[in-house]
Amino acid sequence: MTIDRFTGDFALARYRDGDGVRLGLVRGERIRPLDATSLGAASLNDFLAAPDWDRLAALPVDGADSLALSDVVLTAPVEPRQVLQTGANYRQHVIELVAAGLTQNSERTPEEARAFAADLMDKRARDGEPYFFIGLPACVVGDDVPLVLPAYSEVHDWELELAVVIGREAFRVSREDALDHVAGYTIVNDITTRDLVFRKDMKEIGTDWYRSKNAPGFLPTGPFLVPAAAVDPADTAVRLELNGDVMQDASTSDLLFDVPSLVSGASQTMPLLPGDLLLTGSPAGNGQHWRRFLRDGDVMTGTIAGLGTQVVRCVAEPGANGAA
C-alpha cells in the first residue's frame, strides 16, 4: 500500500528497499532512512528495549536521503518474537457473540440473552482475568501483502485491534508499572477462520486457535509504529470499513481489561520481550455479527486514531474455485 501522509507528530515505519526492508522515521509526507547511528541502536528491537523517542523527534526528515512517503512501499513496522492475543475483551462485542450463541440453544428471547450476557461481562470485568492465547510471529505481515483466503473455509473474519508494542522487557510487572514497558502502538487486523475455532472431533478440549488464526498473512500489521506518549489507549477510536461500509466503529473505552491490566497479566507467565505484540481484542461488528465473511476482492480499511490507516486487499487462494 502507498501512504501519502502521516498526520501524527512522527512514527517509525519499515519499507521495501529492493529485496530487503529498511527502517525509517516518518513525519508528514516524508520518510528518512535510519541506520544504527541515527537510530542509536543496532536494531529496531534494541531501540525499543530503551526507546529514546526524543532523539528521533529531533532528527530532520528533509535531508538529501529522505524519500516521499508516497514513493515507498511500507510493510509491517515491527519484528516481534512473540505475539499474544487477547480474547473476549470488548464488552459489547462479547455481548453480541454470547447472545447470538445463546439464542440458538436456549429458550431465552434475544433481549433476555443480551441481558444475561451483559451481566456475565460486568461480573467478568469486576472479578475475572484477561484471556490470552498466542499467535505465530510468522503471520505478521504488512498491508502490502494481499490477504490470501484459504480455500478450506468460507468464513474468514476480520477483527481490527489496537496492538501494544512492548519496550523494556516485562516479567511479572504490576499494573501500576505496566505502561513503563510499553514502547508504542500499532494496528493489527486479527483474521479468524470461524468454523475452525471449536474442535468438532473433540469438543471437550475446547478452542483451536492455532488452526483458526495462524494461516499465512493472518496478522496484517501497521503501517506505523507510534510512540506510546502519542496515544491514549484508554479512549482511542477503532474503525473498520469493508468495501466502504462501516463494520466496526468503537472506542477502546469499551475494553473490559485496559492496557495496563493486559501487560501485567500477560507478563505473569512469560517475559514480554522488546518488539513483541500484545493485541488488546476487537470491538463489536465483525463478520460473525453481520453474517458476512471475507470474499475474493474485498478491501478492508482499518483506522485507529493517531495510528494511521491500514488497507488490506483479499484474494482467493490460487487454484481455489477457479482463482488464478
For residue 169, the model assigns a pLDDT of 98
The CA R_g of the chain, rounded to the nearest whole Å, is 20
**CA 140, CA 187: separation in Å to the nearest integer?**
11
Residue 221: C-alpha distances to residues 79, 145, 175, 253 (Å): 10, 10, 26, 22
**CA 37, CA 27: separation in Å to the nearest integer?**
19
For residue 101, the model assigns a pLDDT of 61
For residue 121, the model assigns a pLDDT of 81
Provide the H-helix boundaries in the chain: 36-39, 44-49, 53-57, 91-105, 110-127, 209-213, 259-267, 287-290
277 within 8 A of 259, measured Cβ to Cβ: no
271 within 8 A of 171, measured Cβ to Cβ: yes
Query: CA torsion, points 62, 64, 66, 70, in degrees to nearest 10?
Result: 90
Q: CB-based burial of residue 154 (10 Å sphere; 0-12 exposed, 13-18 middle, 19+ buried)?
A: middle
Give average pLDDT by consecutive 10-residue segment, the chain, 324 residues: 79 96 97 97 98 96 93 98 94 74 59 82 85 97 98 97 98 98 98 92 84 97 98 97 98 95 98 98 92 97 97 92 56
Q: Break the chain into its structural domains and give their ranges.
A: 6-75, 83-316
For residue 324, the model assigns a pLDDT of 53
For residue 126, the model assigns a pLDDT of 84
∠ Cα 320 158 235 (to 5°): 165
Global pTM reads 0.93
Residue (of 195, 85, 72) closest to 140 by Cα position = 85
- In sequence order, what E strands does 48-191 have? 67-68, 74-75, 83-87, 131-135, 140-141, 147-149, 156-157, 160-166, 182-189
Residue (of 321, 316, 307) closest to 77 by Cα position = 307
For residue 98, the model assigns a pLDDT of 67
Query: Which is it for the CA torsion 113, 114, 119, 121, positive or negative?
Result: positive
Considering the four listed CATH numbers 3.40.50.800, 3.90.850.10, 3.30.70.3280, 3.40.50.720, the one that applies to the domain covering 83-316 is 3.90.850.10
Tell me how long the chain is.
324
Which residues lie across from 160 on neighbouring strands?
Answer: 189
For residue 128, the model assigns a pLDDT of 86
